[in-house]
């Protein structure tokens, strides 16, 4: 009986907050709702964004507060933008390490080509081989950063090209790439450290990092 009452009350609260958020265009009721339901379910969601690009300001703030950073991404364009500048700055006493995983442009598994086929249905400007060229440019960018900052490491992965994961010691930003949609327009969820999803994403990153296939020789440990 107690569980039934809690379920009914939580549903009513969710409904009220969702309606209020819609009326007033407020984001805090949605965040409060997410935290309430996350705590009750144990999922660990702290925030959600309708588009990955909408998370950039909060991401930059979380990266500035991070003790370590781990990034698994697709083409990696965000790495050269303002959100990540704090991660590249040498001499930051708070930040111990930044590890970046980018796709292998050689694409032996065909994952980049598969992602190109998905996005090309929406964006006709995505020609064959374009993603590999963009990834190569971002590999050059991070490699240049790593030569000036010993705490930055880069490795390449050959696996499905279907999400972006940014982990810190406190949070995990997770963007599952939708079909026929650029990653920047896909929804983004933020999970707290200690949640099941955070642990899964950390395990995913560490597994791909250990594989490290295709990492530039000069950056291998």
The residues, any chain, with a CB within 8 Å of residue 170's CB and separated by 6 or more, are 62, 65, 66, 192, 193
Taking residues 97-114, report their average pLDDT: 90
* Tokens at 84, concatenated: 């990540």
Mean pLDDT computed over 120-139: 86
Band (66; pLDDT cuts 50, 70, 90): very high
Give pLDDT, residue 14.
45
Residues with Cβ within 8 Å of residue 35, at least 6 apart in sequence: 45, 46
Q: Which helix (H) or strand (E) holds 153?
A: strand 152-157
Q: Would you list the domain boundaries of the chain?
A: 1-41, 43-219
Alpha-carbon distance 11 to 4, whole Å? 11
pLDDT of residue 29: 53
> How many angstroms separate the CA atoms of 192 and 115, rounded?
29
Cα separation, 41 vs 216, in Å, equals 42
Q: Which CATH number fits domain 43-219: 3.30.70.960, 3.40.50.720, 1.10.10.10, 3.30.870.10?
A: 3.30.870.10
Mean predicted confidence (pLDDT) in 83-99: 91
Average pLDDT, the chain: 80
**Long-range contacts of 1-10, Cβ-Cβ distance < 8 Å, separation of 24 or more:** 6/40, 10/36, 10/37, 10/40
Please give the share of the chain, as a percent, with pLDDT higher than 90: 48
Average pLDDT over residues 180-186: 74
What is the rounded average pLDDT of the residues 122-146?
A: 89
pLDDT at 161: 83
> Angle, to 10 degrees, between the axis of helix 2-24 and the axis of helix 28-41?
160
Query: Quick one: pLDDT at residue 148?
Result: 93
Give mean pLDDT, residues 101-118: 87
Q: Does residue 12 sit in helix, strand or coil?
A: helix
């Amino acid at each position: 009986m107690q569980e039934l009452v809690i379920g009914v009350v939580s549903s009513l609260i969710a409904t009220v907050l969702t309606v209020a958020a819609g009326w007033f265009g407020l984001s805090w009721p949605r965040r409060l709702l997410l935290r309430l339901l996350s705590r009750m379910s144990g999922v660990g969601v702290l925030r959600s964004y309708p588009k990955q690009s909408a998370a950039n300001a909060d991401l930059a703030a979380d990266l500035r507060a991070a003790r370590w950073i781990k990034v698994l991404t697709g083409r990696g364009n965000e790495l050269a933008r303002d959100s990540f500048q704090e991660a590249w700055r040498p001499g930051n006493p708070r930040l111990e390490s930044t590890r970046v995983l980018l796709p292998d442009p050689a694409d032996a598994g065909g994952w980049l080509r598969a992602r190109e086929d998905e996005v090309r249905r929406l964006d006709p400007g995505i020609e064959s081989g374009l993603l590999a060229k963009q990834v190569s440019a971002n590999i050059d960018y991070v490699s240049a950063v790593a030569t000036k900052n010993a705490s930055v490491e880069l490795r390449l992965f050959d696996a499905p090209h279907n999400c972006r994961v940014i982990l810190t010691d406190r949070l995990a930003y997770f963007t599952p790439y939708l079909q026929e949609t650029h990653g920047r327009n896909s929804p983004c969820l933020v999970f707290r450290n200690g949640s099941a999803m955070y642990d899964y994403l950390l395990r995913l990153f560490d597994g791909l990092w250990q594989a490290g296939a295709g990492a530039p020789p000069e950056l291998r440990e």
